């Protein structure tokens, strides 16, 4: 039996992009997401979780216990029905009255089979419609929005498409002009949290799952290359480990120990080497240790 994590973790991920669009905004012609007031670039938690899911799916290849629930290759209702079939459930709506332990059984089945539910939680509409509490699972791992260290200046690049689709257009049309947005360079920081309390009470997130999560964060861009995203890489993962399940210090106090500054303030950064990353590990709160991974 896998060992459920017993320690709380707070972590920071530093990743960068060069000549690419890290997270396009569909409401703004796929322009890189930006904080309109400060000019800092943004990358959503949903985007980063997608990359973790894709990495786990690629290396585990639907291995038992490591399947991915949120994906575009299977309807969620179809995956929900797997729990019903395995637990011999035919009537969702009347289940709660007939079987008081139904919530727990369905939740445990879904968490044990799908890595991303066990990690991030999920809303399972089939069970929500049946008024079952297990339809909403809160995961122990949570991420915030990533924000660039400095303001970004997205650039619009014109591109030409020389291929002609229709035979009738071949002799009359020439290249079609299109466009793409890029960020010349930006370093982003995102804060994350791992709750041992939720892992124990709800999803069963294990030490093995945690090791896989760190691996996925460090390598999530390596299996997710595309021309649109340019060159992206995780540069560093800074993990604060608490001795206790509920934590030994507030997360914000630990995050404030991580400082990222540009070496030359008045010059635009164009590489990770243009920044200096420091972590104040002196006099850490009792029961907290820091590990830096890259």
Burial classification of residue 58, based on how many CB atoms lie within 10 Å of its CB (0-12 exposed, 13-18 middle, 19 or more buried): middle
pLDDT in tens, 16-65: 999 999 999 999 989 999 999 999 999 999 999 999 999 999 999 999 99
Q: What is the dihedral of CA 229, 187, 253, 283, to 10 degrees?
A: 120
pLDDT in tens, 53-102: 999 999 999 999 999 999 988 888 889 889 988 988 877 776 766 777 78
Q: Residue 88 and residue 106: Cα distance in Å, rounded?
A: 11
Question: How much is the pLDDT for 35?
Answer: 97
pLDDT in tens, 106-123: 999 999 999 999 999 999
Domain ranges of the chain: 1-44+145-152+183-294, 64-138
SS3 103: helix
Question: How much is the pLDDT for 174?
Answer: 67
User: Given a cut of 80, is residue 284 above it in pLDDT?
Assistant: yes
Return the structure tokens found at 89: 């459930």
Question: How much is the pLDDT for 75?
Answer: 86
Q: Is the dihedral of CA 168, 170, 174, 178 positive or negative?
A: positive
Question: How much is the pLDDT for 110?
Answer: 95
pLDDT in tens, 159-194: 777 777 777 776 777 666 778 999 999 999 999 999
Closest Cα to residue 258, out of 235, 292, 215? 292
CB 247 within 8 A of CB 6: no
Q: Residue 243 and residue 192: Cα distance in Å, rounded?
A: 17
Of residues 1 and 196, more confidence is placed in: 196
Average pLDDT over residues 133-151: 93
User: Given a cut of 90, is residue 133 above it in pLDDT?
Assistant: no
Q: Residue 15 and residue 12: Cα distance in Å, rounded?
A: 10
pLDDT in tens, 209-261: 999 999 999 999 999 899 889 999 999 999 999 999 999 999 999 999 999 99
User: Given a cut of 90, is residue 132 above it in pLDDT?
Assistant: no
- Residue 228: Cβ within 10 Å count: 13
User: Given a cut of 80, is residue 127 above it in pLDDT?
Assistant: yes
Of residues 94 and 15, more confidence is placed in: 15
Give me the chain's average pLDDT, please: 92
First-to-last CA distance in the chain?
Answer: 30
CA atoms in the 13 A half-sphere facing the CB of 57: 16
- Taking each helix axis from N to C terminus, what angle separates 45-60 and 207-219, rounded to the nearest 10 degrees? 110
């Amino acid at each position: 039996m896998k060992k459920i994590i017993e320690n709380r973790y707070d972590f920071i991920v530093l990743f960068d992009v060069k000549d690419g669009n890290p997270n396009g905004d569909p409401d703004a012609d796929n322009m890189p997401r930006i904080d309109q007031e400060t000019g800092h670039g943004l990358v959503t938690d949903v985007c980063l979780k997608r990359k973790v899911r894709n990495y786990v799916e690629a290396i585990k290849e639907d291995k038992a216990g490591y399947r991915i629930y949120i994906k575009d290759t299977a309807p969620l209702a179809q995956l929900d029905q797997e729990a019903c079939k395995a637990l011999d459930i035919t009537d969702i709506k009347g289940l709660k009255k007939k079987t008081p332990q139904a919530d727990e059984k369905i939740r445990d089945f879904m968490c044990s089979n799908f890595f991303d539910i066990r990690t991030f939680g999920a809303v399972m509409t089939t069970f929500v419609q049946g008024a079952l509490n297990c339809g909403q699972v809160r995961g122990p791992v949570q991420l915030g929005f990533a924000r660039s260290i400095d303001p970004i200046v997205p650039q619009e690049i014109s591109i030409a498409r020389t291929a002609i689709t229709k035979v009738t257009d071949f002799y009359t049309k020439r290249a079609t002009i299109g466009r793409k947005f890029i960020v010349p360079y930006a370093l982003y920081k995102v804060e994350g949290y791992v709750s041992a309390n939720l892992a124990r009470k709800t999803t069963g997130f294990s030490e093995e799952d945690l090791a896989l999560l760190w691996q996925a964060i460090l390598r999530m861009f390596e299996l997710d290359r595309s021309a649109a995203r340019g060159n992206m890489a995780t540069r560093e993962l800074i993990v604060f480990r608490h001795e206790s399940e509920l934590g030994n210090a507030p997360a914000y106090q630990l995050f404030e120990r991580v400082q990222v500054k540009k070496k030359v303030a008045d010059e635009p950064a164009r590489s990770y080497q243009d920044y200096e990353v420091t972590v104040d590990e002196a006099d850490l709160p009792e029961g907290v240790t820091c590990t830096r991974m890259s």
